[in-house]
Structure formats: structure tokens, C-alpha cells
Amino acid sequence: MELNWAERRVKRRRDAREASRVGGAVSGSFGVTHVAGSGECFQGRSRHRRSLLRARVMDFVTSTAILPLLLGCVGVCSLFKLLQWLRTRACVRNAVVVITGATSGLGRECARVFHAAGAKLVLCGRNAEALEELTRELAASRATKVQTHKPYTVTFDLTDPGAIVGAAAEILQCFGYVDVLINNAGISYRGTIVDTNLDVDRRVMETNYFGPVALTKALLPSMIRRRQGHVVAISSIQGKISVPFRSAYAASKHATQAFFDCLRAEVERHDIEVTVVSPGYIQTSLSLNAVTADGSKYGVMDETTAQGRSPSQVARDVLAAVGKKKKDVVLADVAPSLAVYLRTLAPRLFFSLMASRARKEWKPKRC
């Protein structure tokens, strides 16, 4: 008797499922949208309607709100950058800007960028003919709507301490004052410490450190009297981290970083700005003109230098740093920038990496 009852129960369930399938087929044939007792069908259609509703809501939000909001944000950011650029150029318009090492490389590009922004330039270098050629080039350029000014030139050697005082006086005679001093002139170095003559270390320090320091000290009193001025030091990423076979260069840039950091703190009460710019590799002739351990010219274009940033882009970054009155600017790729933090946070790892780099670079030198 129990077995028959169980069989009848199973049969009823089977018949109900069969009726549900048949009813669904019939309702589909006659366009009936709902069959009483078909719970699964009703739940499936409800889920489908909810998904359609969500899709329509998302389409509505995307078409009427999100897309215009994104476009508006892009427009606001672009407008903000444009206003910043215009403000940057306006900050140096008619300002007296002194650039050392202006005859080549980054100094030459800085001269072009600041001239186009309407600055009154005093171009400094050792080669009078190259300075005059640059002056003629700038005077002939018409690629700006801003009123430009004919540059002055002052010829002197930064490694000659006796010439710097006279050069500073000549610079001040050009316009009567200096608004921005860009200490750009410098020399690079390649060699091992054990083989390098001490005279080479002194030569690099004279050009990269003592020369800019002496010129800054000579012009600083006039800035303090006016309570106005901006001193820029073009340092290097190697002023923050040391790289093998660059000892004299890295030492001079470390000293530069330290001196101008101290200067910034001391002249803040006189309303004078100090900016240290630390670029990575730049596509200039710096490695070609670098000195070696015995004082001779290196004469090789390093691969890292050839693949570096364009000097025109770095010059625009220098102009932006002056306009925004930035304190310290690093213009390097990700790896060198991370190395700066690695030197502080994980010094053992940094020293190990530099030792490995030294071994790799030293092997071909002994072959």
C-alpha cells in the first residue's frame, strides 16, 4: 500500500511537469504572456526585465551624465594647463634672465625658450663668436607673438675666479639688475678614481661648483637689495645618487645640491627663490666633451645620452619650474627616480646594484 502511494506521488509530479511544458508551448503559440502555476517561467521573466531595466538605466547615465562629465573634466584640465603655461610665460616676460653656458646644449635651448617667452636675456659663455651667432639667431626668430628683446652677451670663463667679479659687474650693467640667474654651465667626467689626476677633480669642481657659487655670490647682493630674484642651479640626478666612473662629476653635483639647498633657506627671508633642477640624461654633447682620468677629452657619445630627453623639452621644464617657483625638480625616468628613494630606504640594496654595475662596466675597459 505504501509503495503504491509513493508511485502515485511520483506520477503526479511527472504529470505536473509535463503539463507545465505543454502549457508553455501553447501560450507561446497564441501570444499568451503568463501561465498560472508556472513559477519558474515567471521568475525567469522577472530577472530578464530587471536586467533590461539596469541596462537602460546604465545607457541613460552614460549618454546623459558620465560622458559629458568626462569631457568636461578633460576640458577643465586642458584649460588649467593652458592657463598655467600662459602664467609661466607671463612670469618671465620682460624679466632679466642670465644664462651661463648658453652657447650649446641645454643652455642654448634655454636661451631660445626664455627669449620666446619675452625675457630680457644676458647670455654668458667662453666663446664670443658662438654667443654672437646665437644672438643673431634669436633676433631673426619670429615664432612668437610676444614682444622679444635683443640679448646681451658677456664672455668669461667660470673656472677663472678673477674674471667672475668683473663679469658680474658687466652683467649688472646690461639692464641694471638681474631677475633670474640660471647656472647652467658644466662639464662631465669619465674615469676610475684610482687613475684620475687630482687636477681633473679640481677642474670639474671649478666648473660645476666653484664657478656657479662665485657668480651667485657676486649677483646675490643686488637681489637682496631689491628683495627680488630667482636663482636656478642646473644640477643632475647624479647630485642625488652616485654612479660608478663619474666620481668627480657626481661629487660636484652633490656639492651643488647642498650649497643651493642652504642658500634657499638663508635667502627665503629676502623673498628670493632658489630652484635646483636635476635632469637625467639629455641629448647633448656633454659626454663628448667630458674629461677623462688624464684630463683628455672623452669624445664618445654614450648610448644613455643619445637616448636621453631632448634639450628643448628640458628647457621648457626649466621655464615651468621658474614660473611656478618650484624648489626642487627631478627630470628623470622612472628607474633613476626610484634609485633616489632606494638609496635612502634600502641603502644595502642600492650599494649592491651600483657595485654590480661597476663590475659590468669595468670588464670591457680591461679587454
Residue 321 near residue 304, CB atoms below 8 Å: no
Give me 280's grid cell. 637625467
Whether 152 is a known active-site residue: answer: no
Torsion, Cα of 35, 41, 47, 50 (10° steps) = -20
Catalytic-labelled residue, pool 177, 249, 298, 341: 249
Of 295, 286, 267, residue with least CA distance to 198: 295
Of 139, 185, 137, residue with least CA distance to 284: 185
In SS3 terms, the chain reads as CHHHHHHHHHHHHHHHHHHHHHHHHHHHHCCCCCCCCCHHHHHHHHHHHHHHHHHHHHHHHHHHHHHHHHHHHHHHHHHHHHHHHHHHHHHHCCCEEEECCCCCHHHHHHHHHHHHCCCEEEEEECCHHHHHHHHHHHHHCCCCCCCCCCCEEEECCCCCHHHHHHHHHHHHHHHCCCCEEEECCCCCECCCCCCCCHHHHHHHHHHHHHHHHHHHHHHHHHHHHHCCEEEEEECCHHHCCCCCCCHHHHHHHHHHHHHHHHHHHHHHHHCEEEEEEEECCECCCCCCCCECCCCCECCCCCHHHHCCECHHHHHHHHHHHHHHCCCEEEECCHHHHHHHHHHHHCHHHHHHHHHHHHHHHHHHHHC
Query: Helix axis angle, 39-61 relative to 2-29, nearest 10°?
Result: 40
Give me 49's grid cell. 526585465
**What phi and psi, each to the nearest 5 degrees, are found at residue 256?**
-60, -45
Query: What residues are annotated to the active site?
Result: 249
